[in-house]
Structure 1
C-alpha cells in the first residue's frame, strides 16, 4: 500500500499535501539570491574600498589562511595564474552552495536562509579581519547579506505561491499568473544584479591610474642605467635578454585585485624607532636625488630551474638616504614595510643601509613608471634578498623596529625572518625533453648571486668532468649573469647539469631543499635528445 497524500477526518474536507517547489526552480532561486548578494556587496564596496567586496575579501582571507605547502603547490602547478584558479574555484563553490541552498529549500526557505547567513557572516569576518580596511568596510558584506537573504526569501515565496496556486480552486489559470509573476521577479533580479555588479566594477576602477602613470613616465624619461653594456646576454643562444620587459617580469604576490593608486594621492610614512617621523608625498620623492640601477629579483617560491626570476632597471631614491633623514635609533634591526592592501615585509636594516648595495624606494621600472601590478606608485627593491622580505609593492608605511617586536606576513606561515638569495644557476637551452640536431649544441643559461656576483659557471655533460662555461659581461653584481658552452654531440639522449660559483668562492650546494623556509637548493639538470 502506498502512503496517503491526504488526511481525512470525519466531517472535514481532505487536506492537500504541503506544496514543494520543483528542484530546478528551487536551485534557480538559490543562484539568483547569491547573484544579488555578490552584486550588492560589490557595488557598496566600490564607494568604500574595492577590497571590501565580499568575493574579494573572502578570497584574500583564503590566501592568508593557505598553508605554505599548499601555496607552494599552487605556484608550482598554476604559476602566475594561481589567483585566477582561486577565483574560479570560489565561483564554482558558490555555484554549488547556491544550488544546494535551493534544493534544500523546496518546501521552506529556512535552510537556504541559514546557508546565506553563514556565508554572509564569513564575508563580514573576512572584511573585519583585514588590517587595510576600516570598520566602514563591513557595510559591504552586510549589504551583501541583506540583499541575498531578502532576494532569496522573496523569490522563494513567489515560487511557492505559483506551486500552491495550481493546487487551489482556480487551478491552472491562477498558477499561470503566479508563474509569470515569479518569472518577472527572477528576470528583474538577474538584470538588477548585472547592473549593480557592472556599476560597482566601473565605480571601483574609476581612478585614473594610467593617466597618473603617464605623467610619471614623462618625468622619468631622463633616467637610464649607465652600467648597462653590450654583451651582457647570450639571447641568440637561448638565454633571456639581460633586461626583462615589464610585461614579462614575473609577478608573485598576495593581491587578488591590483590596488589602484594615483601618484598624486600616494604618501609614505616613516616612523617607529626614529628621531623624527617623516611623511613623503610622491613629489617629495621625485625632488630627491634619484638613481637608476639594474637589479635581478627572485621569488622564494622559485624551484630549482624555475621561472620566477627577472631583471629590470629600477629608478628611485636610496633607502639609506631616507633613513638618514629620520635618524634611526640604536637597536632597530628591522625595516618593517606595509602595503596599501595590508601586506607586510621585514628587511634587515643592515641590508637596507649597506653601502655596497642599492636598496631603494623605486618609482620607475625600465624607463617608465612602475606598472600597477608591480607596485605603482612606489615599491621597495632590496638587492640580495628574496622578494617576500624585501619587495613590498604599493608601499605606504615604513616602521623602524626590531624582529622581536614585529612579525611580517610570511613568518607565521613557515618562512624565515631573513632570506638572503642563494647562489643558483639555471639551464635555459636546450629545454628539458627537447630534441635538437646532432653536432654542435650550445648549452646556455643564467646564474645569480645578487650582491656577490658570479665568478664561474661549470657544466657536466653525461656524467663527465665539470667544464667551465663562457661568461657574458657582468655590468653589476646585483643582477644575473649569462653563460654558454658549446658541445659536439652524437645522436642520442644527453643529460647536462650546471653549477655556479660566486665571487666569494662559494659553489652552490648539491643538497636538495624545498622553497620553504628560505629558498630551494640543488643543481639544475636537463635531459634532451639529439638526432
Structure 2
C-alpha cells in the first residue's frame, strides 16, 4: 500500500512538472511576441499529417472546435507523458530523461516547422522543457527518504502535496499570462495579414538581374525578411494594433503633428532600397541586410511640424522606450531617403522588424536611426537629449564606414584550381566603385562587381582565384564612388563602429 502511495505521489510530481513546463513555454512565447507556442506548433504538425476533413474548422470529425480539440489533445498527451516521467524519476534518478529527451526532440522539430531561422523561436520550447525537468527533479527530491525509509511520514506527504499544489497554481497563473500575451500577438498578426499596402507613388527602380552574381554561398542582393538581422533590447517585443498606433512629432516645433496608421498609408509613399547595418557589427560580421522599404519620407512630416531654430537632433522613440538620436539635418534633407517605413520587401513589416512602423535612414548605423515600433519624433538638441546607445557610450552620430566582407570560401580547406572568392561591400551614401582582393602579400586584384540599384545598397563582388596547394590569407578592401579607400586600421566596434580589412585563412589541399 505504501509503495502504491509513493508511485501516486511520483505521478503527481510528474504532472505538476509538466504543467510548469507548459506554462513557462507559453509565457516564453508571449514574451518574445511569437504568433504561436510550442503547443500550437505541435498541433500544427498534427494538422499537417491528418486528413484535411478531420481538422476542418467547419466540418469533419472534430466539428467547429477542431483546432481547440487538437490543442487540448496536445496538452493532455504532454501531461500524460509528464506523469509517466514522474513515476520513472521516482524509481531512479534521471530515468525521466527517457521521456524528456524524445519529447524534447519532437517538440523542437515541430517548432522548426513554424519559426524562421535563428535561435530565438526555439527559446520558449527550451525554457519549457528545462523548467519541467528541473521542477520534476525538485519535487521528486522531496519524496525521497534516507536509506531504509520506505515512505515519507504523513506530515512530509502533506507538505509535499502543499508544495505541489502551490507550484501547480503558479503554473496555471503563468500559463494564463503567457496565453494572453500569445493571443494578443495572434490578434495583431491576424490584422497584419489583412493589410494591403498601397502602391508606391515614388517606386524604386526595378532591380536588374545583374545585381545577383549567382554564386553559391554568396549573400543575396535582397535579404529575405525571415533572415534579416535583428537587434532587440526589450525582453518582450511590442505588440501594437495599427488601428490604435499614432506617431507624434513633438519638441522644438512650430506645429505638433499626430499621424495615424491609416493617415500614413493614405499619403504618397516612397519605395527605396537601403542596406541597414549595426554599429556593433564586427569586421566581416553579418549584422547587415538589404531590403526594399516602403514608407513616408521623414522630411515631409518634419516640414509639416516646422522645426524651430536651434534644433539639431530628432529623438525617435519606440513603443518599448528605446530611442535613437538622429541629426536633424539628415532627416530634413530631401536627397536622403529617410523613411517612416511600413513595408519591407513587398510585405507589411513583421513584428520582429517594427510593425506597424519603423525608421529607415540611409548612411547611418541602426543604433542612431533605425527605430522600430516608432511612436514619437521629438525635435530637440544633442545637448539636451541622447539615444539609448549613446547613453551607454556609443557614438552619437554614427555615419556608416566603408565596409567589405568575404562570404566564400566559408571553409578554410579548398581544392586546388579555380576557387571563387566572393562577398558584398557597401559605402552609403556614395556607393561602391571598386572592390579588390589580396592573397597573402601579393598585389591587389580587381574583382567583378555586380550591378546595383543605387548608392544606398551593398554590392556583390566576385574573384576567380587560381589556387595552388599551400596556406594563404585572403583579404578584401573596397573603394567608394568618391575614391576613398577602405582603411586597413583595425578598430573594434565600440564606440563608433569597427574598421579594418576582412581577412580569412584558406588552406589549399595538395593536388
Using the size of structure 2 for normalisation, the TM-score is: 0.71
Query: Residue 318 of structure 1 corresponds to which residue in structure 2?
Result: 297
**8 Å contact kept, 2:298–2:338:** yes
| C-alpha distance in structure 1 between counterparts of 2:330 and 2:258, whole Å | 22
Query: Residue 104 of structure 2 corresponds to which residue in structure 1?
Result: none
Query: Residue 362 of structure 1 corresponds to which residue in structure 2?
Result: 341
Using the size of structure 1 for normalisation, the TM-score is: 0.68
Aligned partner (choices 290, 296, 299) of residue 275 of structure 2: 296
What per-residue deviation string (whole Å, max 9, x for no partner) do you get for residues 30-80 of structure 1?
Answer: x99xx89x98xx79xx9xx999xxxxxxxxxxxxxxxxxxxxxxxxxxx97
Tell me how far 1:449 sits from its aligned partner.
0.5
| C-alpha distance in structure 1 between counterparts of 2:234 and 2:426, whole Å | 27
- After superposition, the Cα gap between the structure-2 partners of 1:223 and 1:188, relative to the gap in structure 1 and judged at 3 Å, is farther
Aligned partner (choices 257, 265, 289) of residue 278 of structure 1: 257
| C-alpha distance in structure 1 between counterparts of 2:130 and 2:280, whole Å | 27
- After superposition, the Cα gap between the structure-2 partners of 1:262 and 1:82, relative to the gap in structure 1 and judged at 3 Å, is closer
The alignment status of 1:466 with 2:444, answered yes or no, reads yes
| C-alpha distance in structure 2 between counterparts of 1:493 and 1:453, whole Å | 33
| C-alpha distance in structure 1 between counterparts of 2:311 and 2:298, whole Å | 15
Aligned partner (choices 151, 157, 160) of residue 180 of structure 1: 157
| C-alpha distance in structure 2 between counterparts of 1:446 and 1:323, whole Å | 34
What per-residue deviation string (whole Å, max 9, x for no partner) do you get for residues 425-470 of structure 1?
Answer: 01111125132x2111221111101111001111112311111111
CA RMSD of aligned residues (A): 3.9
Query: Residue 342 of structure 1 corresponds to which residue in structure 2?
Result: 321
Query: What are the equivalent positions in structure 2 for 1:59-70 lying under 5 Å apart?
Result: none
| C-alpha distance in structure 2 between counterparts of 1:434 and 1:304, whole Å | 21
- After superposition, the Cα gap between the structure-2 partners of 1:354 and 1:222, relative to the gap in structure 1 and judged at 3 Å, is closer
Query: Residue 507 of structure 2 corresponds to which residue in structure 1?
Result: 529
SS at match of 2:482: coil
Aligned partner (choices 491, 497, 503) of residue 475 of structure 2: 497
| C-alpha distance in structure 2 between counterparts of 1:326 and 1:382, whole Å | 19
Provide the aligned length of Structure 1 versus Structure 2. Answer: 405
Tell me how far 1:395 sits from its aligned partner.
0.6
Tell me how far 1:290 sits from its aligned partner.
0.5
Aligned partner (choices 476, 493, 496) of residue 518 of structure 1: 496
Query: Residue 361 of structure 2 corresponds to which residue in structure 1?
Result: 382
**8 Å contact kept, 1:221–1:368:** no
Tell me how far 1:487 sits from its aligned partner.
2.0
Query: What are the equivalent positions in structure 2 for 1:141-180 lying under 5 Å apart?
Result: 176-180=153-157
SS at match of 1:446: strand
Residue ranges of structure 1 left out of the alignment (5+ in a row) = 1-27, 52-78, 107-158, 164-171
- After superposition, the Cα gap between the structure-2 partners of 1:279 and 1:222, relative to the gap in structure 1 and judged at 3 Å, is closer
Tell me how far 1:81 sits from its aligned partner.
5.2
Query: Residue 179 of structure 2 corresponds to which residue in structure 1?
Result: 202
Tell me how far 1:530 sits from its aligned partner.
2.5
| C-alpha distance in structure 2 between counterparts of 1:252 and 1:343, whole Å | 12
Greater Cα shift, 416-425 or 196-205:
196-205
Tell me how far 1:217 sits from its aligned partner.
4.0
Query: Residue 331 of structure 1 corresponds to which residue in structure 2?
Result: 310
**8 Å contact kept, 1:83–1:256:** no
Query: Residue 466 of structure 2 corresponds to which residue in structure 1?
Result: 488
Tell me how far 1:315 sits from its aligned partner.
0.5
Query: Residue 478 of structure 1 corresponds to which residue in structure 2?
Result: 456
**8 Å contact kept, 2:200–2:269:** no
SS at match of 2:194: helix
SS at match of 1:426: strand
